[in-house]
C-alpha cells in the first residue's frame, strides 16, 4: 500500500500537455458556442510547436488552427497531437479534421474525450487508428467532461443544461436579511463568475432578482479573456416586472440588453398581451409566452428549447446559468432540475433567517448532488456539483 501524495495528483507527461490543451480551450471560452471550444497542442521533442482553439461558430476547428499555424508542415512528422475532443470525421461547416490529422504524419494522437455527436461518434478515432497513428483516449477525462459539459449534455440529453450558480455565507444565506447580496463573495469569486457567464448560452434570473438587484447580467471584469455576452432570460411567470409603472420596467429591462445580446422575457400570454413591449427602445426585448396548462418551471424548458426563440435571439440556448434568486433556485431544486451547480461559499456568518434555499417537498426528501471539483478563490471556496444522473449520462 503506497501512500498517495497530499494535494494535486502526480501527472504523467500526456496529462501535462493535455492540461495545456485545456487551458488553450479555456482561453477561447464561449467563443465558438454552440460548437464546443476545443483546445489542441502539438508537441515534438518535449516542446510545443503549435497550438490552437476552436474559432467562432462556423470557423476553423482547434486542430486546423494549430496545424495551419506552422509554416513548414514537415516539422509535424513524428510529433504528438493533443486534442481535448475527438477530431471530427464529418463535413459540417468545416471539412473533417481527421483528414488533416492523417496527412501530417503524427506519431501519436492523444484525445481527451470521444465526441458524442452522432455525425462523429468514434468515426474520428477509428480513422486515426487506421492511419497507423498511435492513439490514447481518456486523458484528463474528468476535467474535460467538466469543461465540455454544455456541449456533451446537449448531445446526450437533448435538452438545455440547467446550471445553477450562487454565492452563500457559511450558514447558507444567499443574501443578508436586509436583502443586500452584492458583497457575499469576494473579488476573485466575482471575477470567476463573470468569466463563467460566457461559457453558457444564456443567463437566467427570476423576477425577484430583477426587482431587487437591477442586474445587467453582463460579462465584465473577467478573469481571462472576454469573448461574448450570453443572452439574458428573465423568468417572470406572474408578470411582476411588467406590473411596475412603465417608466420603471423600461429602465429595468433596458439595463439587461444591448443590440448584440437581446433579452428574453418569459411570462404569461395574458401579461404580454397587455404590455407595450413593442414600443420604441424595446426592440431587443423578446416577450415569449410560457406554455399554458403546465407548471411554469416545466414550461421554462419548453420555451428555452423552442426553435422560434433561437431564431429571435440569433442563437440556440443549449445551456443556461441560473443566477437566482433563492426562490427560483429552490423551485428548480424542488422540481429536480438542477443539472450542475457552481457554489461559492464565503467565510462569513450571515446570522439571519431569510434568503435561503428551501424545498417544497416532503420532509426528509433531500435534493442530492455530487461534488466533482473544488477550488479556493481568495477567501472563498468554490465547489462544483453534478446531479448524480448527469454523471451517469456521461459514462
| Strand 231-235 with 340-346, pairing | unpaired
| Strand 370-377 with 380-386, pairing | antiparallel
287 forms beta bridges with: 265
Among 97, 161, 175, 264, binds ligand AOF (CB under 6 A): 97
Contact status: 61 vs Zn ion (CB under 5 A): yes
- In contact, 11 and 20? CB cutoff 8 Å: no
CA–CA gap between residue 145 and residue 158 (Å, rounded): 17
Active site residue 55: no
Footprint of Zn ion on residues 85-124 (CB under 5 A)? 88, 97
Contact status: 94 vs ligand AOF (CB under 6 A): yes
Cis peptide before 34 (omega within 30 of 0): yes
CA–CA gap between residue 4 and residue 24 (Å, rounded): 29
Contact status: 54 vs ligand AOF (CB under 6 A): yes
- Give the chain's largest Cα–Cα span: 72
Q: How far is the CB of 118 from ligand AOF (least distance, A)?
A: 9
Q: How far is the CB of 235 from ligand AOF (least distance, A)?
A: 28
Contact status: 285 vs ligand AOF (CB under 6 A): no
Q: Which three cell numbers stand for residue 377?
A: 478563490
Footprint of ligand AOF on residues 116-145 (CB under 6 A)? 117, 120
Contact status: 337 vs Zn ion (CB under 5 A): no
| Strand 161-169 with 340-346, pairing | parallel
Residue closer to Zn ion (CB basis): 100 or 303: 100
**Of 4, 13, 51, 63, which is the active-site residue?**
63
Q: Which three cell numbers stand for residue 297?
A: 418551471
Q: Which one of Zn ion, ligand AOF, none is in contact with 85 (Cβ closer than 5 to 8 A by kind)? A: ligand AOF
Buried b / exposed e along 186-218 (16+ C-beta atoms within 10 A): bebbbbbbbbbbbbbbbbbbbbbbbbbbebebb
Q: Using CB under 5 A, which of the segments 55-63, 74-82, 171-179, 230-238 binds Zn ion?
A: 55-63
Contact status: 61 vs ligand AOF (CB under 6 A): yes
Q: How many residues bind ligand AOF (CB under 6 A)?
A: 18
Q: Using CB under 6 A, which of the segments 69-77, 114-122, 322-330, 358-366 binds ligand AOF?
A: 114-122
Among 21, 62, 152, 203, binds ligand AOF (CB under 6 A): 62
Q: Which three cell numbers stand for residue 144?
A: 474535460
Footprint of ligand AOF on residues 2-31 (CB under 6 A)? none
CA–CA gap between residue 140 and residue 113 (Å, rounded): 9
Residue closer to Zn ion (CB basis): 68 or 248: 68
Residue closer to ligand AOF (CB basis): 87 or 206: 87
Residue closer to Zn ion (CB basis): 124 or 230: 124
Q: Using CB under 6 A, which of the segments 83-91, 205-213, 250-258, 331-339 binds ligand AOF?
A: 83-91
| Strand 263-267 with 285-289, pairing | parallel
Contact status: 319 vs ligand AOF (CB under 6 A): no
Q: How far is the CB of 22 from ligand AOF (least distance, A)?
A: 13
Q: Which one of Zn ion, ligand AOF, none is in contact with 92 (Cβ closer than 5 to 8 A by kind)? A: ligand AOF
Q: How many residues bind Zn ion (CB under 5 A)?
A: 3
Contact status: 102 vs ligand AOF (CB under 6 A): no
Q: Using CB under 6 A, which of the segments 113-121, 193-201, 290-298, 327-335 binds ligand AOF?
A: 113-121
Residue of 287, 264, 263, 284 lying closest to 274 (CA atoms): 287
Among 92, 172, 179, 347, binds ligand AOF (CB under 6 A): 92
Which residues are known to be catalytic? 63
Q: Where along the sequence are the contacts to Zn ion (CB under 5 A)?
A: 61, 88, 97
Q: Where along the sequence are the contacts to ligand AOF (CB under 6 A)?
A: 32, 35-36, 38, 54, 61-63, 85, 87-88, 92-94, 97, 115, 117, 120
Amino acid at each position: 500500500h503506497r501512500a498517495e501524495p497530499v494535494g494535486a495528483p502526480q501527472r504523467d507527461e500526456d496529462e501535462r500537455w493535455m492540461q495545456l490543451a485545456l487551458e488553450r480551450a479555456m482561453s477561447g471560452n464561449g467563443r465558438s458556442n454552440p460548437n464546443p471550444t476545443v483546445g489542441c497542442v502539438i508537441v515534438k521533442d518535449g516542446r510545443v510547436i503549435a497550438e490552437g482553439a476552436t474559432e467562432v461558430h462556423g470557423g476553423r476547428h482547434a486542430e486546423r488552427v494549430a496545424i495551419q499555424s506552422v509554416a513548414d508542415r514537415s516539422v509535424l512528422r513524428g510529433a504528438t497531437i493533443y486534442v481535448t475532443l475527438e477530431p471530427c470525421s464529418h463535413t459540417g461547416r468545416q471539412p473533417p479534421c481527421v483528414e488533416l490529422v492523417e496527412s501530417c504524419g503524427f506519431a501519436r494522437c492523444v484525445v481527451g474525450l470521444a465526441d458524442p455527436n452522432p455525425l462523429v461518434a468514434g468515426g474520428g478515432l477509428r480513422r486515426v487508428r487506421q492511419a497507423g497513428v498511435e492513439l490514447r483516449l481518456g486523458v484528463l477525462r474528468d476535467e474535460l467532461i467538466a469543461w465540455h459539459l454544455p456541449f456533451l449534455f446537449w448531445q446526450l440529453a437533448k435538452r438545455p443544461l440547467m446550471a445553477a450558480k450562487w454565492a452563500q455565507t457559511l450558514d447558507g444565506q444567499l443574501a443578508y436579511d436586509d436583502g443586500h447580496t452584492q458583497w457575499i463573495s469576494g473579488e476573485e469569486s466575482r471575477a470567476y463568475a463573470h468569466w463563467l457567464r460566457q461559457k453558457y448560452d444564456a443567463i437566467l434570473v427570476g423576477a425577484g432578482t430583477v426587482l431587487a438587484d437591477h442586474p445587467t447580467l453582463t460579462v465584465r471584469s473577467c478573469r481571462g479573456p472576454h469573448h461574448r455576452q450570453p443572452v439574458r432570460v428573465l423568468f417572470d411567470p406572474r408578470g411582476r416586472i411588467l406590473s411596475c409603472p412603465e417608466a420603471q420596467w423600461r429602465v429595468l429591462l433596458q439595463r439587461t440588453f444591448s443590440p448584440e445580446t437581446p433579452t428574453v422575457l418569459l411570462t404569461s400570454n395574458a401579461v404580454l398581451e397587455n404590455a407595450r413591449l413593442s414600443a420604441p427602445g424595446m426592440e431587443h426585448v423578446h416577450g415569449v409566452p410560457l406554455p399554458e396548462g403546465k407548471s411554469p418551471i416545466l414550461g421554462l424548458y419548453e420555451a428555452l428549447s423552442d426553435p422560434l426563440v433561437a431564431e429571435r435571439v440569433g442563437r440556440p440556448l443549449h445551456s443556461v446559468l441560473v443566477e437566482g434568486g433563492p426562490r427560483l433556485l429552490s423551485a428548480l431544486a424542488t422540481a429536480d432540475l438542477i443539472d450542475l451547480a457552481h457554489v461559492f461559499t464565503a467565510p462569513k456568518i450571515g446570522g439571519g433567517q431569510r434568503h435561503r434555499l428551501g424545498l417544497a417537498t416532503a420532509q426528509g426528501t433531500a435534493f442530492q448532488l455530487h461534488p466533482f471539483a473544488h477550488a479556493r478563490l481568495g477567501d472563498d471556496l468554490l465547489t462544483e456539483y453534478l446531479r448524480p444522473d448527469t454523471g451517469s449520462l456521461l459514462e
